Amino acid sequence: MSWRTEHDSMGEVRVPAERYWGAQTQRSIENFPIGTEYEKMPEEIIRAFGYLKKAAAQANRELQPARMTEQKLRAIEQAADEIISGKLREEFPLVVWQTGSGTQSNMNVNEVIANRGNAIAAEKLLHPNDDVNMSQSSNDTFPTAMHIAAAEILEKRVIPSVKGLTEELARLESENEDVLKGGRTHLQDAVPIRFSQEISGWRSSLEKDIGMLQDALPGLRELALGGTAVGTGLNAPKGFDTLAAEKTAALTGIPFVTAGNKFHALTSLDEMVFAHGALKALACDLMKCANDIRWLASGPRLGLGEISIPENEPGSSIMPGKVNPTQCEQVTMVAARVIGNDVTVGFAASQGNFELNVFLPVCAYSFLQSARLLAESAEAFRERCVSGIKARREKMEDNMGRSLMTVTALTPYIGYENAAKAAQTALKENLSLREACVRLGLMTEAEFDEKYHPERMA
């Protein structure tokens, strides 16, 4: 490997000659040999930095044209566009486990844009601090990148994925409006329910989760950019914060605005906590839905067996013909990871000391992992499981016919205690409810047939 020499305020550093990053990035590589290849700064954060650096340069061009010349702006814009497109992804090697402010990742972006911009201009045009980081600090850019990345992944990936799943459930609901089945509470038999009603519970839960995610978006659309080091806006021109937010909104298509209080924006992660709480709620509801489906599909002969689900792959290396509810299992494992991430996000948010939170990278990493996993999990679950669910109507009818809780329909006529006696007698003596009521002298056969209509109970 060939090397070149770069320098920063602490002195000279050797950097791989083929890379655009500079001295501060290299120092971080050497000082934080922690984690695996999969614990690098999330690509969503890097793309968000591309947007905010481009927006900041555009705002500086309007507010400080003598410092941000047209030539510098064009070089920054082109380099930032390459970052946004993912073309320069290999230039961002830093791990999450670095400084809690994300300073090294901000400088990583500054150095790459500066050196790539200089290559584009074919001259030493840009300085990473003076030009690319103009009117900014790591302390306001990293929280800004977090909000951009979080809002973008919720709006463009998570919410559409969950909407697709709710639409599939709505279709399934419509197909099963006439299907009656036994309900279950406490994993015990309960009164009848229509299968469509059961599905509607799943659908409605996910629709409410979408609503909670949408409620979290306005807070995420507030940007810290312009607060600079401690929230005072030192070294940023008047109006920079508002203009930079407007430019970011134009670039992303998301209505970002400047945060009303930069002291809050730099030190608090409450918007991230709130939004991740909605992700956790989604995870919980997806787990419930997946668990219901795998219980209903259990069998094929020794379980409930009331629905069939797609058979995607062999389920055992030793038991021929076994097929497992693997899509339900991936959903529940993803939910477990998201619930764990919620603890991390919450704890990270509690570590705002004075004018800065110093748990930003791990908060961003955990949040984006949760969002990414839920979006991909919901899509796979819809495509490879829910779309292929079929009601086993005969099995549902048979199970409901053997349920003792349909005796609840008779309580207005024979009373609660007599109905309980009928159910207990039927269970102990292996009788039908009809036979039990007649044997106990509670009703005649004709009276039973007149009053007993399970289909009306749903």
Bridging pattern class, strands 352-353 and 356-357: antiparallel
Residue 277 domain flag:
yes
Question: Residue 445 belongs to what domain range?
Answer: 404-457
Residue among 174, 316, 350, 432 flagged as catalytic: 316
Q: Check whether residue 324 and residue 445 sit in a common domain.
A: no
Rounded CA-CA distance 384/417 in Å is 47
The count of other CB atoms within 10 Å of the CB of residue 111 is 28
Rounded CA-CA distance 230/265 in Å is 10
Q: Check whether residue 386 and residue 453 sit in a common domain.
A: no
Q: Check whether residue 411 and residue 389 sit in a common domain.
A: no
Q: Check whether residue 22 and residue 49 sit in a common domain.
A: yes
Write down the pTM of the prediction: 0.96
- Band (429; pLDDT cuts 50, 70, 90): very high
* Structure confidence at residue 211 (pLDDT): 98
- Band (391; pLDDT cuts 50, 70, 90): very high
Q: Check whether residue 327 and residue 276 sit in a common domain.
A: yes
Place of tokens 């690098």: 40
In the residue annotation, 317 being an active-site residue is answered as no
In the residue annotation, 127 being an active-site residue is answered as no
- Whether residue 454 is predicted with pLDDT greater than 90 in this model: the reply is no
Backbone angles phi, psi at 194, to 5 degrees: -80, 145
Indicate which CATH number applies to the domain containing 13. Answer: 1.10.275.10
Residue 410 domain flag:
yes
- Report which secondary-structure segment, H or E, holds 13: strand 11-16
Q: Check whether residue 290 and residue 159 sit in a common domain.
A: yes
- Whether residue 151 is predicted with pLDDT greater than 90 in this model: the reply is yes
Q: Check whether residue 271 and residue 334 sit in a common domain.
A: yes
* Structure confidence at residue 1 (pLDDT): 83
Whether the link from the prior residue into 300 is cis, omega within 30° of 0, is yes
- Report the pLDDT averaged over residues 191-220: 98
Residue 437 domain flag:
yes
- Whether residue 354 is predicted with pLDDT greater than 90 in this model: the reply is yes
Q: Check whether residue 22 and residue 157 sit in a common domain.
A: no
Residue type, 104: Q
Residue 379 domain flag:
yes
- Report the pLDDT averaged over residues 291-299: 98
The rounded percent of the chain whose pLDDT value lies above 90 is: 98
Number of domains in the chain: 3
The count of other CB atoms within 10 Å of the CB of residue 1 is 6
- Report the pLDDT averaged over residues 409-417: 96
- Report the pLDDT averaged over residues 228-236: 98
- Band (366; pLDDT cuts 50, 70, 90): very high
Residue 225 domain flag:
no
What average pLDDT does the chain have?
97
- Whether residue 455 is predicted with pLDDT greater than 90 in this model: the reply is no
- Whether residue 440 is predicted with pLDDT greater than 90 in this model: the reply is yes
102, 134, 166 - which closes a domain: 134
CB 416 within 8 A of CB 408: no
Rounded CA-CA distance 369/135 in Å is 30
Q: Check whether residue 165 and residue 279 sit in a common domain.
A: yes
* Structure confidence at residue 401 (pLDDT): 87
Closest of 312, 95, 136 to residue 234, by C-alpha: 136
Q: Check whether residue 169 and residue 193 sit in a common domain.
A: yes
Task: Retrieve residue 262's tokens.
Answer: 């930069």
- Band (318; pLDDT cuts 50, 70, 90): very high
* Structure confidence at residue 299 (pLDDT): 95
